[in-house]
Structure 1
Amino acid sequence: MENIAKKPIQPNPILLQSKELYEYILETTVYPREPEPLKELRAASASHPTAFFGTAPDAGQLMAMLLKLVNAKRTIEVGVFTGYSLLLTALAIPDDGQIIAMDINRKSYEIGLPIIQKAGVEHKIDFIESQALPALDKLLENQENEGSFDFAFVDADKGNYLNYHERLIKLVKVGGIIVYDNTLWGGTVAWPEESVPAAKRDVRQSSIEFNKSMVTDPRIESSLAPLGDGLTICRRIY
């Protein structure tokens, strides 16, 4: 029987190969369905010196669908920046839903806050200005929080992804979803280390270790989707 696992990988002509193709995807399938508040928030964030921190719109589109597929009502967001992913979550969950959002920088969050308020969804958001680990640990101090969240999104310091995962796997219910952003780290996870700029090497190594860990974690099913800068989608199975 042919050993498929060792069969040489053939180039996939459908994989994203150019800036023009990415723009085609955005213009034809993402932007036409992007809610107006998200367009406005994206525009308001564009001049920020670290605008690239924001969630990619194509990744956001998939996240919104996942939120609706699991009927998410109670969610966690680790890392908020100006609030694009926070707003899309608030728009996707029901009116009595709740998002516990944590970030060390309230000033960035306040860039998007007027748009969130105008969209009429601020009441769903509990923003905590804090490092994420102590905030997550505080949630876990209340046993009623364990297994009570439907969805979590992580887009914060990449070196702590494994630490966040150990806490979120307790907070998110069986069947719930945890999504991690930037898990391809600009593609550097596949580069030889000597080809990676020195400033990116630590996070590259953390990303490699995280990706390996997700594959071997028996508590989840996972998929690394090449959207934005890499989106790892985990479903808790026990």
Structure 2
Amino acid sequence: METTMKAGLNVRRFKYVKKLVIDPRLEEVNSALAELIDVSTKHPKEKFASSADQLLLYQSLSYMLNAKKILDCGTFTGLSALSFALGCADDGHVYTIDVNKEFVDVGREYWDKAGVAGKITSILKPADEVVKEMAQKPEHLGSFDIAYLDVPKHLYEPVYEYIVPLLRPRGLLLVDNIFMSYGVLEDEANYDPRDTAVLDMAKFNKRISADERMMHNFIDIGDGLAIVVKK
């Protein structure tokens, strides 16, 4: 289903988690999620997909919070949207954003198959435009239980600044790819100036670490996940 290198930088950790968590839980969760994971890992752009252990975490967190309103910035093939929709409240809703209709259409079949298509609204526009528009509408301010951020890295910071006011107090922000294949762990003097994604992520990680509005944690799962709580 999924290669260890794709699913995590710590290969031994992934093998252990796969045996005790991923495989048994994917048998319990709606089969559409396992099928979409398989389809996504065979996609030419499979590096955009979250790992299976991350997706199960997203489902667990949305279930734990009984989330009713979720913002998913970065649909790709619909994996994160499906995971959130499977975990959220019965009357919960996921707003998922991407610019690529071809990517999103892959996921629609599996949203339908899982019986959660009615809980997901797909918005085909740049994420920075969508969150800016949402932040200008009173009904969205402070209303989201969870937000997920996995867009082009140069957009992380501007999208983040609009997401924060959209989250409710104690709302949860999940940020993917914070380690950039461990590129950000290098001494800053050794950063390749041509690798703009690593530079953008290093800057963003400093931004959220210094944001007094938020409580942040960095987790070694997939390519690194920030779990950030709004105070």
- Whole-Å separation in 2 of the counterparts to 1:38 and 1:209: 33
**Judging changes above 3 Å, is the alpha-carbon distance between structure 1 residues 116 and 17 closer, same or farther for their aligned structure 2 residues?**
closer
Query: Structure 1 residue 192: deviation in Å?
Result: 4.0
Q: How does 1:109-148 map to 2 (within 5 A)?
A: 109-148=104-143
Mark the structure with the bigger radius of gyration.
Answer: 1
Query: Structure 1 residue 197: deviation in Å?
Result: 6.3
Q: How many residues align?
A: 221
Per-residue CA distance 1:173-208 (angstroms, 9 max, x = gap) = 001001100000000001246766676x21111111
Equivalent residue in structure 2 for 1:39, among 34, 43, 54: 34
Instruction: Tell me the equivalent position of 2:22.
Output: 30
Equivalent residue in structure 2 for 1:156, among 151, 155, 159: 151
**Judging changes above 3 Å, is the alpha-carbon distance between structure 1 residues 138 and 86 closer, same or farther for their aligned structure 2 residues?**
same
Question: TM-score scaled to structure 2, two decimals?
Answer: 0.90
What amino acid is the match of 2:208? Answer: M
Unaligned runs of 5+ in 2: 1-7
Q: How does 1:52-71 map to 2 (within 5 A)?
A: 52-71=47-66
Q: Secondary structure, in 3 states, of the residue corresponding to 2:75? A: coil
- Whole-Å separation in 1 of the counterparts to 2:10 and 2:159: 33
- Whole-Å separation in 2 of the counterparts to 1:50 and 1:195: 28
- Whole-Å separation in 1 of the counterparts to 2:33 and 2:190: 36
Equivalent residue in structure 2 for 1:205, among 199, 206, 209: 199
Contact 1:70 1:176 in 2 (8 A): no
Q: Secondary structure, in 3 states, of the residue corresponding to 2:106? A: helix
Residue 212 of structure 2 is aligned to residue 233 of structure 1: no
Q: 58-67 vs 175-184, which deviates more?
A: 58-67
Question: TM-score scaled to structure 1, two decimals?
Answer: 0.87
Instruction: Tell me the equivalent position of 1:188.
Output: 183
Superposed CA RMSD in Å reads 1.8
- Whole-Å separation in 2 of the counterparts to 1:47 and 1:101: 22
**Judging changes above 3 Å, is the alpha-carbon distance between structure 1 residues 58 and 39 closer, same or farther for their aligned structure 2 residues?**
same
Q: Secondary structure, in 3 states, of the residue corresponding to 1:24? A: helix
